[in-house]
Chains A and B, each alone.
Chain A
């Protein structure tokens, strides 16, 4: 008999397993509609490969694994993809997630399977690829993608198969071992092959499963694997705890079993591996225990993944009136379902429809008297009572010092607590709060760095501006002091002269702009126009906001007021300016010479404005025919230019070729349209009707 180590702590709740062991594994009828959540495993959700309306065969891949920690998803039956949308899923929050909805056609047509019973001849990596392709995840309840787990970074010397099934009510692994032990034995062999033949292969099974143990022992005849019976205690089936019981080693805190050379797989996962490799069947169904006082025919069912819970419960004779609480999972670690509208997923090992007797009364918790029964029961040697006090006080430092992260949330402490305190909920909430705080800290640290950089950038810009200002001031001073002195000094004051010229010219421009009444008038008129547009926009926005919405309404009204005030001011300035005596150009005579260039620019602009005004005046006085002709002439000119540009672009190989071509095309279109209008107008005119169009 192989040595085992005792489990520290632990409890022995009533097993309640006999109810679901009365009959062999049954098959529920095929559901009409299957809902496949894309995230049935730990890690990244899988990515759909099919589209709505596509017909799929049984076992066909419908979603691919995404990233390192992910799994593929397969169609559990043949049918049509009805939708890919958010649907309620089985989650403690009662939330929704993206699912592939498959409408079964009842024919159960299989895809062609690639069975490799000769796995021993394949390289371990190839067998691992088969396992990955089959989308296998941990079926003991956690759901970690098996292919990732079987590909550890360290050498593995121990393979442990978890057949403990320590939680009350659950018997899925038990019946699997009773009925399908040979497959499990082959599965163990496959796993050993993938892991490079580890030295020790252990199967841990609790001693309350004698029939399963003997079936497994018969199937393992000749195999290297050692079947070890361990005392029935909850939670001896937890991965970390089973490793401690079977090997005496402890998984380092924050680490993985692979760090100490151990890989642990559930017995259901092992069987799924056998099916995937030797028969080519992907993971499309699992054994689920449906039990509880509210089920007339409690038992184990081979359920297709995606079967609605309602459908499965009906197969077990569910009575909603008796059911006080519906739990997905076992009574110690499962979560309640508010709705039966959710699907069965790869990690659903049990559905417990508890009646009034089986549901706890949920009395109001009393005060913690620090009796220490919880510390006696904790399998991880924590002090749950201290964790409780610190979780209530939100003292995250002390929680970390008391190793909150090592809590496996098994519920043994809350089970024994005489004051009925929901301890596990405190720990879960505290862990969630710590996680949120850590994320916020990362974000705020990042924001601080960005802010510091922003500040530095602003300061640098300020410094550069100040330096430039200094430079200009100095240059201006020098220029003023050396006015008229055009003699270049040997030390290069010619440059200063030139600079001073430029500076003087610039200053003069500014002066001219400021003092020129015309320029000012123009500026004010432009301002007024812009403000008018703004006012119109704001007013139209105001009408859109209902009066009742006082906040935004008030804001918008205030904004309008502001614009009105500005407009009034500008209008006032404009009036004042108009009433002033027009300044003669001689006012600017002091800077006439250096402003010569500027005057030319002003003249040019004045000419352009005059031309534009003339054009406008002409347009207004033109007849429609003339206008059209005028437009056409202009369009033709533009088209010629556009065509030239396109030719140039073609020879240059310009990447904006397409844009040029589009421009040409649109101009041509406009021209054609205009020509059509012209001919129509002429036709109408020639027919004698009044061409009072438009």
Chain B
């Protein structure tokens, strides 16, 4: 039959994948604004470099696969990956950091597995982890926010930033503005009571609830996440479960603020990539679990793992590792958390063998 038969339904809702991706991009804006306000142009440059690389790599791979480029680039998924990666990288990192990370994320972590929808691991997180492990020095060189810088010093302007990112354009020492993150600081302040750390450290003295600058970034991402929840881009299960898991672990291990304490709750919630992870990484539909219960379990375990790695692991922030570890487990979670179908008494199991 040369003519294709059309099946029902013959109507369609307005939502498209492109629209979903665009909502995601829009939701990153508050966080991006906060990052730029507190840490300068670095993040914007990272995002720009990552985006250009991502789109270029995706176009190249699509051409290699002999498919129309426009169709595949129009769904903005590469752009979202690049933006998320760019947001996660340290500002004013050398230009090849976002480029390598983005290329790896798009080509290896996404297209090698089959393209959009086929990747088992979150591409942005894969790119981040590859960079973190391969270039630890560049990846742990974070900046101090504008509010903490000593008087007289200021964050580099656009031209200076570009010179820092592209060393060929000029040479400016960067050490004037670098500083460990709040989480990093806390991790290495062993032997001190929590209140001592909070009182002595400039991060916390300058911050309202938690690390200065970083708290606003996280609040920005939280705002973006709430916008996405309202737009029904995803359901509440995964982000709420992750934050709940993390909070529970933090509360349990607070230890009344002793020297071996894991840290105050608001530090964990409003520092590092917590909110970015909760609303943009854990909710990535391609790599997370599928059912509501599955997403709850997935999110909760991500939160628990983040805490474990932060406190007892080698890294100060652990969102990327925790997410990747749970990406491994997501299909397994799916097998055991099928929703109860209409007409059945209990939930089925996808591991049921043919009898």
Contact = CB atoms under 8 A, between A and B. Distances in A.
Interface of A: 8, 11, 13, 92-94, 168, 240, 244, 250-255, 325, 327, 329, 331-336, 338, 352, 354, 358-360, 362, 364, 366-373, 375-376, 379-383, 385-386, 397-398, 400-403, 406, 409, 411-412, 414-416, 418-420, 422, 424-425, 428
Contacts of B3: 338
B283 to A, nearest CB: 10
B341 A380 contact: yes
Contacts of B344: 253, 403, 406
Contacts of A254: 343
A576 B117 CA distance: 83
Contacts of B152: none
B349 A401 contact: yes
A253 B13 contact: no
B6, B75, B285, B288 pick with most chain A CB within 10 angstroms: B6
Contacts of A325: 6, 10
Interface in B316-337: 334
B7 A424 contact: yes
A379 B342 contact: yes
B223 to A, nearest CB: 22
Given A397-B353, A416-B13, A425 B7 contact: yes
Interface string B65-93: 00000010001010000000000000000
Contacts of B339: 375, 381-383
Contact of B77 (A8, A369, A370, A420): A369
B5 interface: yes
A13 B11 contact: yes
Nearest to A422: B7
A419 B334 CA distance: 22
Contacts, number: 161
A635 to B, nearest CB: 66
Q: Which 4 pairs across A and B sit closest by C-beta, in order of nearness?
A: A411-B9, A253-B343, A367-B117, A425-B7
A366 B76 CA distance: 12
B8 interface: yes
B49 to A, nearest CB: 25
Contact of A360 (B11, B117, B232, B352): B11
B8 A376 contact: no
Contact of B343 (A255, A336, A369, A401): A255
B8 A424 contact: yes
Tell me if A's interface is mostly helix, strand, loop or mixed: loop
Given A332-B11, A370-B285, A381 B75 contact: no
B286 A386 contact: no
Contacts of A250: 342-343
A254 B339 CA distance: 18
Interface residues of B, number: 47
Interface string B267-300: 0000000000000000001101011000000000
B348 A369 contact: no
B20 A381 contact: no
A418 B290 contact: no
A335, A373, A386 pick with most chain B CB within 10 angstroms: A373
B8 A333 contact: yes
Interface in B26-54: none
A336 B351 contact: no
A424 B11 CA distance: 13
Given A406-B344, A416-B15, 16 more contacts: A244-B342, A327-B10, A360-B11, A367-B115, A369-B285, A370-B290, A373-B15, A375-B290, A375-B291, A376-B235, A380-B341, A380-B342, A381-B340, A402-B350, A406-B341, A425-B7
B13 A371 contact: no
Nearest to A244: B342
A372 B13 contact: no
B188 interface: no
B109 to A, nearest CB: 15
A418 B15 contact: yes
B142 interface: no
Contact of B6 (A336, A367, A397, A402): A336
B16 interface: yes
A536 to B, nearest CB: 47
Nearest to B330: A370
30 contacts: A93-B5, A253-B344, A255-B343, A325-B10, A329-B8, A331-B10, A334-B8, A334-B10, A336-B6, A352-B10, A360-B12, A366-B17, A366-B71, A367-B118, A369-B77, A371-B233, A380-B342, A386-B334, A398-B350, A401-B349, A401-B352, A402-B348, A403-B344, A406-B343, A415-B9, A415-B11, A415-B13, A420-B16, A424-B7, A428-B7
A335 B5 CA distance: 9
A331 B116 contact: no
